Structure formats: C-alpha cells, structure tokens
Amino acid sequence: MHPAPSVIIFTTLSGLGFGLLVFLGLGFPAVSGWMAFAFFAIAYALAVGGLMASTFHLGHPERAWKAFIQWKTSWLSREGWCAVLALIIMGLYAIGLVFLDQNWSLLGWIGALFSLATVFTTSMIYTQLKTIPRWNMNLTPAMFLSFSLAGGALLAGQTSVAIPLLLISALVQMLYWRKGDQAFACSGTDLGTATGLGVRGSVRAFEPPHTGTNYLLREFVHVVGRKHAEKLRVISFVLAFVLPVLLLVLPFNHFFALLAVASHLAGVATSRWLFFAQAEHVVGLYYGKR
Amino acid sequence: MTHQQPILDTSPKVSDEVRKTTCYMCACRCGINVHMKDGKVAYIEGNRDHPVNKGVLCAKGSAGIMQVNAPSRLRAPLKRVGPRGSGKFEEISWDEALELAVSWLKPIREDNPEKLAFFTGRDQSQSFTSFWAQNFGTCNYAAHGGFCSVNMAAGGIYTMGGAFWEFGQPDWDHTKLFMLFGVAEDHDSNPIKMGIGKIKARGARVIGVNPIRSGYNAVADDWVGITPGTDGLFILSMIHVLMKAGKIDLDYLSRYTNAPVLIDASEGPTKGLFLRDEDGKPLVIDRATGELTAFDKPGVRPDLSATYEKDGVTHRPVFHLMAERYLSDEYAPENIAEQCGIPAQRIRAIAGELARVAFDEAFELDREWTDFRGEKHSKMIGRPVAMHSMRGVSAHANGFQTCRALHVLQILLGTVEVPGGFRFKPPYPKPVEAHPTPHCKVTPNSPLDGPHLGFVQGPEHLALKEDGSPARIDKAFTWENPMSSHGLMHMVISNAHAGDPYKIDTLFMYMANMSWNSTMNPKGVMEMLTDKDENGDYVIPRIIYSDAYSSEMVAYADLILPDTTYLERHDCISLLDRPICEADAAADAIRWPVIEPDREVRGFQSVLIDLANRMGLPCFTNEDGSAKWVDYADYIVNHERKPGIGPLAGFRGENGDKKGRGEVNPDQLNRYIENGGFYVAHIPEGADYYKPWNTAYQDWAVGMGIYDSPQPYLFQLYSEPMRKFQLAAEGHGERQPPEHLRARIKETMDPMPIWYETDQTGNEGFTVNALTQRPMAMYHSWGTQNAWLRQLHGRNPLYVPTKLMREHGLQDGDWAKVTSPHGEITVPVMEMAALNDNTVWTWNAIGKRKGAWALQEDAPEATKGFLLNHLIHELLPAKGDGLRWANSDPITGQAAWFDLKVKIEKAAPPSDAESQPEFPAIKSPVGTGPQDLAWKVGK
Amino acid sequence: MTQLPQSTDRKMGLVIDLDTCVGCHACVISCKGWNTENYGAPLSDQDAYGGNPSGTFLNRVHSYEVQPAEGHAQLIHFPKSCLHCEDAPCVTVCPTGASYKRVEDGIVLVNESDCIGCGLCAWSCPYGARELDQAEGVMKKCTLCVDRIYNENLPEVDRVPSCVRTCPAGARHFGDLGDPDSDVSKLVADRGGVDLMPEMGTKPVNKYLPPRPKDTVEDQIDILAPLLAPVAEEPKGFLSWLDKTLEKL
C-alpha cells in the first residue's frame, strides 16, 4: 500500500492522542486547572490533528460529514462516531477539570471507553480488509490498541504502567511482523485464484493492461526492499520501545521523559510507515506485483 | 428497514443526433454512428447495419473522438522557414500554398512529368490519386502496398484472381477449421475478430501459425510457433503429405484449376508455356473423348492425368509436374521439421486435420448453379476449411512464393469459393488478365499513357525505357522485381537521393511517415531528405507533404498541405478501388463531414482537385476550359470512369434506383447519408459460391459494372507469366534481363510454388529472428498519439523468449543491445514464454520522435519506445560484387521487413535511461497538448 | 444503503469468454467513451500528452502467460471490470452510503454526490475494479451501463453495456445470472464458468469462461490411421492411383 503521509500521521498522532485521553479519563494523572488544560490540549492537538490529517486524503473533504451515516456497516463511519463522541465527552470532562474544578469521573470513564473504541474502530478499518492479508489479522487491533495505550501512558507520565505496556506493545509488534510476513502466502490467494487459470499451470503476468501507471498501482502497489524494511524495523523497534523503556528505568528526568515520548512517537510513525508500505493488496497480483 | 437507494434516471438522452459515416482510425473501414451533442462529437459506436462491422467497433474506432480533438492536428498550410528536419515553419494562406505548389508542379509537367514522384501512404482513394497522377503525366505514382503486403495481393491474384482481406474472407457461417498464417491483426481486423468469435461459439477450431502466440494466435486452439520465413516450406510439406495420401479434391482440381492444362514440353521459346488453341485458350485433354480441347468448351471434363504426344514430344498436364515436385522426399515433414522448428509428427497431424475436416466433414448446400461449361450442379459441396494470412507471410523475400504455396494448398483441398471455405468479395474474383498492365510512357504536358500500376503478364509489360533502364523512380516492374504490382514506395527516397535511375525535382507524399516508422533505415532516410549537393541545394529539391497531424515526416517537407480528420471530410470507399464488399454482397461507402473543420485545413483530395484545376489537367477540365469538379464531393458524384460507372455504385440514375451502372445522380451523397453512409447490393442465392465459374455470378457482376463481360477463368496452380520471365532469363525473347539477375530470375520465378531461403549475406553471427507487429489497438492507425490509446501502449519493450532471457542473463526491465548487420539499438526487454525460442519481437510504431505528434518531449513513446526499423536497411549488406541488392522480394519488390536477423546482448542501462538511438527533438509546429483531459461534451 | 440488500431481484452481470478474447482493448475504449460522456463525472486523464499519462478506466484488459506442466506456454487475454459481487465488500465499507448495490438488478454503483473520495471501497475490492478519478475526486467504477441497459432512448437491441455491444469477438455476454434459464447462465453451466478469487467470499456475479484445452491436434489425429495412409510412394505410382481414382469420379 502507498504509505500516504496523511494516514501515517493520522493513525500515529490520533492513536497517541486518544491513548492519552484514555488515561486522562481514568484520572491518570489526576490533574486539574491549568495542568489539566495542558494535558488535554496535548491530547486534543494529537487526536484532532490526526483526524484533520486524515481528511487530506479525501477527494471531497467538504462532504466528510456524510461519513457518519453508515455506522451500521462501516468501520470508518463508526470510527467517526466514536471519535466525535470521545472528543465531546472528554471535552465536557475536561471543562469540569479545567474550569469548574469538578471531576465527573463517570464521564471520564465513558470518555476513556470511547477513546479506546476510536482506536479500535480505526484498527478495524484495516483489519476488516481481506484484500490485504497483512492487515486482516487479530494482531492488527491488538497492535493499534497496545501502541495507543503504551503511548498514552508514556504521555500521561504513568511510568509504572508505561513500562509493561511498552513491553507488551513490543511483543505484539514482534508477533505482528512475524505473522504478517506469512499472511499473504497463507491467505490462499495467488495469481492462479485471481485469474481462475491456476488449474491450467503456473500463471505469470505478461503485458499490463496499460503501459503507464494508474490509481490502483499508485495506491496499492508499493515495493519496499527486504533489507531496507528490516533496517527500518530495527530502527522502529528501538525507537518505539527499547529506548523509551531504557529512559524510563533511568532515574526520572523531564528531559529523558520528553526524549522517551519523542523516541516512541518516531518509532511508532516508522512502524506505521511499514504497516502501510509493507501491506500487499491482492490486486497487485493482477499486475504481477505485490 | 427497507433497502433505500437513490433514484436514477436510467433513460438519459443519448445524443441530439446520430450521424453515420465510415471510420478511418485504421484501414478496416467500419461503419460508425457518431453521436452528436450541441454540434460536437459526443460518442462513437459501431453501426449495426454496416456490412463490415455489424455494430462492433475496435479500440481505435471508439477512440476516434480523441482524434478529432487531438492537439497534434495541423492547423494551417505551412511553409518551411528553418532547415529541413528542424520543424521550423510559418503558417501561410491556402492561396499562397496552392500557388506555391503550382509554381513547382506546372513547370515539371511542361518539361518532364517524371520529375514529380507522387506517392501516397495511408490512402483510401487510390483510384482518385492515381487518376490525378495519370493526368498530371508522371509515371511515378504508387501507394504504400510495396512495403505493406503486395506479396499477399499479387500472390493471390496471380494464383486465383484474388487474395485475402478486401479480396475475400472465410465462410464464417460454415467453416469448421480456420487456419491462420502469420501476423494478421493488420487488415480486416474487426471482421476477423467477429469471425473467430462466431466460429468459436460453434465449437469450430482455429490453428495459428506464428512465431508469436499473441492476439489471434493466443485464442488459437493449436499454435505452431514456426521459425520466421519458413511458412512456405511448412505449407509445401503439408502439400506433400496430402498429395501422398491422396487427400486432395481431384474433381475440383480438374474442373476449376489449370492442373489439367497441358504444358508445352518442346525445347525453345515456348517451353513451359501452356499449349493453346488458335484463340489462345489453354488446352486440356477431355476425359470423355480423350481429345485435345480448349479448357472451357461446353461439357468438357478436363483430364488431370492424360498426356499429349506430338512430334515425339510428350506434353504433360500441370498436375504431373506438381506430383513430380511435391511428392519428392525433399518436402517430407521429417526433412524440413528442423528448419521450420515444427516436429514432423505435428506437421502430419495438422495436414491430417485439414484433410479430415475438408473431406470427412464435407457437407452440401441445396443450391443449384451452372458452371461456365454449361454444366448444371444440383448442390454445392462444402469443404469447411478456411485459411487467412496477411503481412506475416508477405513481408519476407520469399513471401510471394509462400503466398502462392498457401493458395495452392487451399486449392488442392478444394476449399476456395466453396461453402465453408475461403470466398471472394466483389469485385473479386478477377483474373490477372482482367487487370490493367503497368504504364510508364511520359509525355510533357500530357497524361500518362495508362494506369501506373497493374499486373505484368510477361517481360513485355515491364516498365523499362528504351535503353532498358527503369522507367520508374522506384524501379517497379523491372527485372529486379518484375511483378511489383503496388510499386515500391520504400525505395523512392533512397533512389531519388541516389539519382538512380534518375533525379527528380519534387517529391509529393500523402500520409506516409517516411522519416520515421514507415520506412526502413529511418536515420538514413532523414539524412537523404536533408542532404545537400555541392551547390548547397537539397539533393531532393522539393518536398510537398500532406498529413492531418504533426507526424515526424512534417519536419522534412518544404510545404505542408494540412488534411482534415476523418470526421471532417468527404471520401468514397469505391468499387473502383478497395471497397468494403462482403462475400455475399457488393458494397461501398462514403465519409462526409459530420463536423466542419475548426482550422484552416482541407481534405487532401479536394486540394488535389484544386491543384488540377489550377494546372488545367485534362480530365479535370471541361472542353470550355472550366473545371469539372470543385471538390472531392463533386468528383465522387459526377465523375464517370466509364459511361454509367462512377466512384459510387449505389443510388445511381436520375431516381437513384440503379445499382452498379447508371447515370449520375446529383442526390447520391444524400442518399448514402440517409442509408447510413454505405450501400449494399446482395449477390443472389445460387450466385454466391463458385464465383469464378458460376454463370449466375458472372452475369450479376456484369450487371453491377464489375466486369464488361463474363470472365470465367481457372485457378493458376502453374503461373504462366512467371514462366515467361524464366524463359527470358534462359535467353528467349527480345527483352533480356541483365546478366547479374539471370540466375536469380530463373530460380525465383518458378511457375509452381517453391521455397527458398532468403539472402543471408552479411548475417553471419546474427542468428536471432526479429519481428514487429502493431498492437490491435493501434494497427494501421494514424492515431497512436491519441490520449486514450497511448495509455494502452505508450512504450514498447523487446519481447525475448525465455530461453534467450536465460542464456543472456536477462530479467524483465533489463536493457539489451540489439544489433543487426545494419545497425544497433539499446532497448528494455521483457520475457515472453509463448514465443518461438529463437525470435524476439516488439510492438511497432510506438516509438516517436521527440517533438512530434504534439507530445511532450518526455513522453514515454520518445524516451522508452523504440523502432526496430533502425536495424533494417532497404538494401542488403554489400556482397562484394559491386552491386547493392534490395532487401525485398525478388518477384514483387515487397519490403522484407521480417527477414531481419539480429544478435542480442545484455547492456547497461543508457545513462539517461532512454532507448537508443536518440534523435534531437524537432520543433513542434502545433505546440504540445494540454495537461489534463476530462472530455465531456454534453452538460 | 451501505447495507447490502438481502437479495436482488435479478443478478445482472457479464460473462467473459477467455477462450475468445483476443485482447484488442475494444471494450476498454468503448467503456471509456461511453462513461466519459455519460453517468457521473467524465473519466479524466492526467498528463494526457506528457511523460506519465494516467487516466481513469473502468475496464482494463490484462494478459497472462500460463505454462502448463507439458506443452507450449499459452497467452490469455483477461478483461477485468467490476464483478458486481453479491457480497460486495466495497458497499459495506462505505461510510457515506455512496456505494450501493441496487435491489432490482444487483448492479453496484457509486452515487457520486455522496462520495467523499476516501478510497476505502477500492481498498476493500480484491479485483481492482474501482478507481478514484483524479480530477473529480470521486470513486468511479463499472456501472454495467445502467444508463444504457434500460435506456428507452436507445433501440432495444442496444440496451446492453457498451463493452458488450462493441466487442468484436463476441467474448462478452450480458444477462441475468440469477436466472438459471438465461443464456448467460446456460453458457456458464456449459463451459464451466468460474469465479475470480472465490476464497475472498465476495460471490462475484460476473463469471469467466476458461479457455478450451489447447494444442491437442496431435492427440486428435492418428497420423498412421487410414486418413494419411500413402496412396503411393513415387510420382509414378501416384499417377496410376490418379487414373484409378479419376475413373471413379
């Protein structure tokens, strides 16, 4: 898949933002006043900024509101609802904390739930796609959720939770890569089934339908060199998990904490780039490409 | 919840009006419905009523809308202001352009008309352009057949009075086995696709013989990946197998072919010619009486076997000679299998399949008919095997004989002009004798003494001057290529540049991309077109060119006469020329301006009429000196070739109710337009098969004006005109070939089909066959720059068989250096498994010159696309005999594109990753096209 | 709307005969022409005359080489457009309901005025049947020429998709695949029509007829059988055979 910056920014930032909102909603850290304002401002900047970024890839952003209509079947629509509900509820909760010095904890819990649901629905947009075997796995939501919570804990300064969550995320990431690398082969889809010609012999794509490129190739066919991908995986893993955990186990230091967050963000963004760039859509088979 | 969905208008208005005309996106001439909205072309589809395409339309046809809006359309007459080849022009008025042309042409006509060489490329008005050239008086006229498929046309006409494509078609309704030789996606493309679809739907089978398994060969049930250039050998081997097994139609051969005609065996100037009676009729032995008799006497049953003794000489029938030759082990499958690259078993199996279907699946139609000997037949016997071939077989230097062999194979099986077999389309069948012979007598200020092109019947018809030198600039109809019925357009520039046989003054061309893909050796041609003499003048002094688009050739002309697109013009697809008939009907068609040009362009034929009028050419001028026709439409309606016969056969006579023959009808074009742009006259049942011998057909053809009198004839398994050239080479007759050609004429002009290996001089080390074909979406198209079509084929790799890929360590996308004795190219490669092991190929004419066709200079056509033409020369490599031999068929002069041999080696990608050779960009006289397109006419 | 209908009255679709398709691209361009002028936004082309031309097409013809275990490689032309799946994932993923399957005939369409151009439907389609038009920013796809097949401004015989009407080889068939007695259903049954990527569970309506067996002439003809038995070995013997045979004529 084409690793479009808009979706990478979106999933990375909003995952982190909603992760922070989960913790804020649960009352970690227990903040109020301007301190709460600062935390919520960061969370909203990330969540809303991410959502805004996601509209950049739309052909008609001005019609984005129509996306709320089809919540019955569409994960994208559900994501929209969850995000809006999470932001509204958490907004009310934040108003209580920041301006009224009120902790409406029930509202916080509900907001946290919707925040988590937003991340889950985002992940399901990808997970549901049978066309992309690497995404069509239970590990996809596990990865999105664990990353979001780990990042949220990190941002929320919840070191004791953040370390195990980072370790869990690291494990999920490893499993995701391992299983993901097999996913296409295990899906049972190949050029033989794609063309129905597999029963006759081995099938090879010959001339493409057009000599130039097209929307499908631009959107779905992105080739990452194996070595390049492996290097990026190491970088992503170190930045997202190894370095933050090391920084967290060191004696607390604001600079280290900031560095841990920055490192994690860069690592997750790299992981997300790989998430898209390495995802192979079955349509590539028709073009002799994956 | 009930299912909700938007309410759709499923009956939107399709168009304001449908205008029916004839497509010209290729040479197929399908009928099209042009849907108009707000006076603009909105959509083009096939015309269901049209005899050619019956509603279907190919990619080119549907993309016509992108041709009408193409940014490459020329806009106004152009006069060259920069050096030739630079593309620098100024726009001038039509008056200025025509006066300039006249100022060049008129003195030539008054002084020596042969100094004008007028050659048309993609011309569907040859009966008119030749008429113009004839009246101008130059002998130097031809269209592009010489580098296209003259072998196929001439091979067919000399053998059976017609060939494939517009000459005939398989009997798609009855055939059960369709055998296809070589690339054939070029001509008659929609009808063949329709035919293949039709027979496959019935479960009939297709056998494809082609080194490349693409296109029609991809759907063939059996594919024969033959070694290029050996089709003739394969065919003769099947003839061997079939004759040996007695699987030939003896009845058919005895009645309708010259197999029983007696050959003069006496030594001397008549040896090998037919024994003839006093009226010149070939003689046979009547099986009933044992008497010597003219072949066409009523009731005669010619004997295939009997010989005739006279003066101690035994004269034998053609069939004896054939048995002697083709039963020889030389043609046994086992002895030719390796050369053809086909296992002997497979050759036998295919011959067996032909025999099985022709004889075991024979059927009868209950249709009475009477043959030319007066014999009545109660039934028509069907032999459901049909064959087809076009350029693949044609474009070899042994192509003429191969085409003859192919026709002989069909005839031996008795499948020509019978149900289920191959059928002619009017005005064919037509024997050689019914065609004109070539004319070349030039007289200042006068018309030529007759039509330029024709069919020679012996050395007496060659176009030679009194001193024996070639009369024509292209050396057509000379000892080098005696039967060059279509001329040799591919030799014109090279001969004119060399001043051999003489220098010319003006080269006048129409839609012929001679500085690029329509020529061999494009680089050399570009140099010839721009070469200057010691005085600093161009060696070819003046070049006038007409084209509708900014093709590569435009840059090399001094004066450009811009043509219209096909939707902006009048045309006629005439029975006098290359009509659109079907086996069941005579048909012709028109084009008419469904839109008016929005630029200063004029239909080329109208421009020729204007030029003729300005020069006062004889047949264009009334006795009072006034012009007969103002434009081409006027000519189409009012010209009469013979009394009552004009360019269009339909709606003749004052009331428009006469067909074929009839007075001029001033309303004729409107009647065509009302009728969908075409006219069809059906052949009556019972006249529709056995046409060369069927009295009912012959009478119908006379009524239609196709013949002046019935012309029954025999199929020529043995070609007497060819024997006459052999006799000359043996020293008989007044006209004698030059010494250096004697041996070749003796060998190649064999009156019975032979196969010979083409001249391999200089090919040492070049062992791989290299071929081209054009993709179906572009074949014969002048519209490859078309915004939609160019997305399909915007660049072309060299397709390399798996074995050669492995041998040379190549992978898809790698680059290879491809060399021939003549040149070198460096191009990207792609693997193809369904390909002859020793053949590479590419799509032709995708490659474009930078700056041409209004494309941007980084267009893939110009950067990645390439032409194989750079590897092919119009001459063979020097043999050291001081002579240069043409790279063409020694019989017809057909350009031997497909004889190319190359070697390939892996190469580093060129530094700019562009195919080599590269040429500097030419300045576009029309700029470049827009960035984006979203072409919707209706709102 | 985004919900698939429980069932559709008919299952209109295409049957594509891979045994007959010669790969001429006629359907591709006819489709481009009709759908540029008709349903919704025109199918645009970017860099139309430049270095990287790329346009929206609703139907494209691929080609594949198949190498059987024994014998020659085969080349197969393979037209592909929307298969109008019964379980069309492109419909259910659509957040706005722009993408829908018609209850009366099963045609999958995009209501362009509702399309936000998110591309998710194209992501969900295994067949590459949907292309986002770069000029209009909306998803384009085969409409099965819904504006032709019922169009009362067209003669009845022309009420078929433009690709079907134009196909020179007759390799494209249009009809109701929900009706077992329809011509197309019979064709599918006779020729063993197949689904593409059945494992995706999309239940495509369009079917593909596989190529008939190839390169079998040697199996069919016994070259030693009487058919090709020599009548003579030498020209002389041939001529006496000839005489005998002519007697019988």
Find the domain containing B780 and state its range.
768-907
Does the structure show a pLDDT above 90 at B504?
yes
Does the structure show a pLDDT above 60 at C1?
no
Whether residue C157 sits in one domain with residue C120: yes
Q: What would the mean pLDDT of B366-380 be, rounded to a whole number?
A: 96
Whether residue C226 sits in one domain with residue C193: no
Both tokens assigned to B819: 């060399």
Specify the range with the lowest mean pLDDT, choosing from B151-160, B280-289, C239-248: C239-248
Check B323 against C235: CB less than 8 A apart: yes
Q: Is A64 on the interface with C (CB under 8 A)?
A: yes
pLDDT of amino acid A131: 97
pLDDT of amino acid B177: 98
At B198, the pLDDT band (50, 70, 90 cuts) reads very high
Question: pLDDT tens across B279-315, in order?
Answer: 999 999 999 999 999 999 999 999 999 999 999 999 9
Question: pLDDT tens across C53-84, in order?
Answer: 999 999 999 999 999 999 999 999 999 999 99
Whether residue C98 sits in one domain with residue C76: yes
Q: What would the mean pLDDT of B344-365 be, rounded to a whole number?
A: 96
Q: Is B833 on the interface with A (CB under 8 A)?
A: yes
CA distance linking residue B357 with residue B342, whole number of Å: 21
* Site of tokens 């920055």: A262
Find the domain containing C51 and state its range.
12-215
Whether residue C133 sits in one domain with residue C31: yes
CA distances from B857 to A202, B73, B152, B782, B791 (A): 40, 17, 38, 19, 16
Pick C40 or B184 by higher pLDDT: C40
C-alpha closest to that of A66 among C111, C133, C116 = C116
Q: Does the residue B855 lie in any domain?
A: yes
pLDDT of amino acid C2: 62
Check C62 against A207: CB less than 8 A apart: yes
Q: Does the residue C5 lie in any domain?
A: no
pLDDT of amino acid B3: 61
Q: Does the residue B222 lie in any domain?
A: no
Q: Does the residue B316 lie in any domain?
A: no
Percent of chain B with pLDDT over 70: 100
Whether residue C129 sits in one domain with residue C19: yes
Q: Is B213 on the interface with A (CB under 8 A)?
A: no
**How many CB pairs below 8 A link A and C?**
199
Whether residue C211 sits in one domain with residue C225: no
Q: Does the residue B755 lie in any domain?
A: no
Q: What would the mean pLDDT of C196-210 be, rounded to a whole number?
A: 97
pLDDT of amino acid C223: 65
Whether residue C235 sits in one domain with residue C201: no
pLDDT of amino acid A252: 80
- CATH number for the domain that contains residue B819: 2.40.40.20
Could you say which of C53, C95, C124 has the minimum Cβ distance to residue A67?
C95
CA of B173, closest CA in chain C: separation in Å? 14
Q: Is B4 on the interface with A (CB under 8 A)?
A: no
CA distance linking residue A243 with residue A248, whole number of Å: 8
CA distance linking residue B770 with residue B228, whole number of Å: 9
Question: pLDDT tens across B650-664, in order?
Answer: 999 999 999 999 999
Q: What would the mean pLDDT of B699-726 be, rounded to a whole number?
A: 96
Check B787 against C162: CB less than 8 A apart: no
Contacts of A244 (CB under 8 A, 6+ apart): A154, A162, A166, A260, A261, A263, A264, A267
At B1, the pLDDT band (50, 70, 90 cuts) reads very low
Question: pLDDT tens across B56-86, in order?
Answer: 999 999 999 999 999 999 999 999 999 999 9
Mean pLDDT of all residues in chain B? 96
At C190, the pLDDT band (50, 70, 90 cuts) reads very high
State how many domains chain C has: 2
Tell me the residues of chain C between 140 and 179 that have a Cβ less than 8 Å away from chain B: 146-147, 149-154, 157-158, 162, 165-171
pTM of the model: 0.96
At B17, the pLDDT band (50, 70, 90 cuts) reads very high
Whether residue C172 sits in one domain with residue C51: yes
Whether residue C128 sits in one domain with residue C36: yes
Q: Is A202 on the interface with B (CB under 8 A)?
A: no
pLDDT of amino acid B146: 85
Q: Does the residue B838 lie in any domain?
A: yes
Find the domain containing A77 and state its range.
5-286
Question: pLDDT tens across B574-628, in order?
Answer: 999 888 999 999 999 999 999 999 999 999 999 999 999 999 999 999 999 999 9
Specify the range with the lowest mean pLDDT, choosing from A233-237, B133-137, B481-485, C229-233: C229-233
Contacts of B71 (CB under 8 A, 6+ apart): B854, B926, B927, B928, B929, B930, C49
Percent of chain C with pLDDT over 70: 98
Does the structure show a pLDDT above 70 at C182?
yes
- Residue B45 φ/ψ, nearest 5 degrees: -135, 170
User: Which amino acid would we find at residue B83?
Assistant: P
At C224, the pLDDT band (50, 70, 90 cuts) reads low
Whether residue C242 sits in one domain with residue C208: no
Q: Does the residue C154 lie in any domain?
A: yes
Length of chain B (residues)? 939
Q: Are B41 and B61 in contact (CB under 8 A)?
A: no
Check C165 against B55: CB less than 8 A apart: yes
State how many domains chain A has: 1
Question: pLDDT tens across C98-146, in order?
Answer: 999 999 999 999 999 999 999 999 999 999 999 999 999 999 999 999 9
SS3 state of residue C61: strand
State how many domains chain B has: 1
Chain A environment of C96 (Cβ under 8 Å): 63, 66-67, 69-70, 77
Whether residue C191 sits in one domain with residue C170: yes
Chain C environment of A187 (Cβ under 8 Å): 199
CA distance linking residue B560 with residue B74, whole number of Å: 9
CA distance linking residue C139 with residue B515, whole number of Å: 44
Chain B environment of A204 (Cβ under 8 Å): 833
- CATH number for the domain that contains residue A86: 1.20.1630.10
Contacts of C20 (CB under 8 A, 6+ apart): B196, B197, B200, B201, B219, C169, C170, C171
Tell me the residues of chain B between 220 and 239 that have a Cβ less than 8 Å away from chain C: 220-223, 225
Does the structure show a pLDDT above 50 at B11?
yes
Q: Does the residue C123 lie in any domain?
A: yes
User: Which amino acid would we find at residue B299?
Assistant: G
Chain A environment of C77 (Cβ under 8 Å): none
Check C65 against B833: CB less than 8 A apart: yes
Does the structure show a pLDDT above 60 at B876?
yes
Q: What would the mean pLDDT of B441-465 be, rounded to a whole number?
A: 97
Whether residue C229 sits in one domain with residue C167: no
The secondary structure element, H or E, covering residue C63 is strand C59-67
Q: Are A40 and A94 in contact (CB under 8 A)?
A: yes
* Site of tokens 């409409």: C143
CA of B477, closest CA in chain C: separation in Å? 37
Q: What would the mean pLDDT of B98-104 be, rounded to a whole number?
A: 98
Burial of A191 per CB tally in 10 Å (0-12, 13-18, 19+): buried
Q: Are B487 and B837 in contact (CB under 8 A)?
A: no
Chain A residue nearest residue C140, CA to CA:
A215
Q: What would the mean pLDDT of B672-687 be, rounded to a whole number?
A: 97
Does the structure show a pLDDT above 80 at C220?
no
Both tokens assigned to C75: 């080349």
